[in-house]
Structure 1
C-alpha cells in the first residue's frame, strides 16, 4: 500500500469503530477510541484511533481534528504511565507499508517499556488472553 491509496472503510479499525468487531476498550469519546493491542509487544500496549475520519495515516488527518486527537493520545499515554509505571514509553505511528503500517486507519501505538525487557514481535504467536487485556485496560482506564 502506498501513502495515498484510497481509504478502505472495511479495515479492522473502522469495523471496531462501528461496533462490528469487538475490542478491549480503554476509553472512547467523540474524538477517539483507545483499546488494547490484541498482539501486544509489551504489557499495556495500547492503540488510539481517531473517530469520524477516513485518514489512512498522519498525512491525511484533517488539520482541525489533529489537535483534539493528539490530546487523547497524550491522555492515554499519561494514563498508561500512571497505571503501569514503566521505565519508558514508546509512542509511535507508521505511514505506509514500507514504514511498517499494516492497518490503514491512522493509529498511534503506546508501548510501555521496562529496563532490560525486549519488545515482543508484533503478531508473533497467537493473540493475547482477552481477560488479561481487560484487566490491564481497567487499570489504565482508572487514570483517565
Structure 2
C-alpha cells in the first residue's frame, strides 16, 4: 500500500485545497507555493508514488492527467499562448510529495533550460 501523503489527505478532504477540477480519476488544485502566475497540480486519485511506479495497469492514469491539463489550459484561456507541464521523480528530480503529480505552469513565457548549472553530468 502506498504511503499516506498530503495529496491523499486532500483527496479525502481532510485538509483544504483550492480545487479547480475533479473527476472520477483525478483532482486538480492550485499549488500553495506557485512558481508561475498559474500553477496547478493535477493528481490521480489512485496513489502512485513516483514515475518509477507507473506500469501497464496504471499507465492510463498518467495519460488522463495530460487530458485534464489540456482541458484546464483551454478553460483558463492560455492553451494558445502555451504552458509547461512538469512531472518530477524522486529527490534529485525535485519531487517532494511522493504521490505522482503533474505541475501545470502558465501565465508567463517560460525559459529553457529551466535551470542552468555550470557542472556537467
| 1:82–1:58 CA distance, 2 compared to 1 (3 A) | same
Task: Report the secondary structure of 1:35's partner residue.
Answer: strand
1:72 is the counterpart of 2:51: no
Q: Match for residue 115 of structure 2?
A: none
Deviation at 1:113, TM superposition (A): 4.6
1:1-144 equivalent positions in 2, closer than 5 A: 7-9=2-4, 11-53=5-47, 55-85=48-78, 87-115=81-109
Task: Report the secondary structure of 2:64's partner residue.
Answer: helix
Aligned-residue CA RMSD (Å): 2.3
How big is each residue's C-alpha offset from its partner over 1:53-77, in whole Å with a ceiling of 9 and x where there is no partner?
3x11112134233224422332333
Query: What count of residue pairs does the alignment treat as equivalent?
Result: 110
**Where does structure 2 lack aligned partners over 5 or more consecutive residues?**
112-121
8 Å contact 2:65–2:102 — kept in the other structure? Answer: no
| 1:40–1:81 CA distance, 2 compared to 1 (3 A) | farther
How big is each residue's C-alpha offset from its partner over 1:90-128, in whole Å with a ceiling of 9 and x where there is no partner?
1111110111111111001010152388xxxxxxxxxxx
TM-score normalised per structure 2 = 0.76
8 Å contact 2:30–2:39 — kept in the other structure? Answer: yes
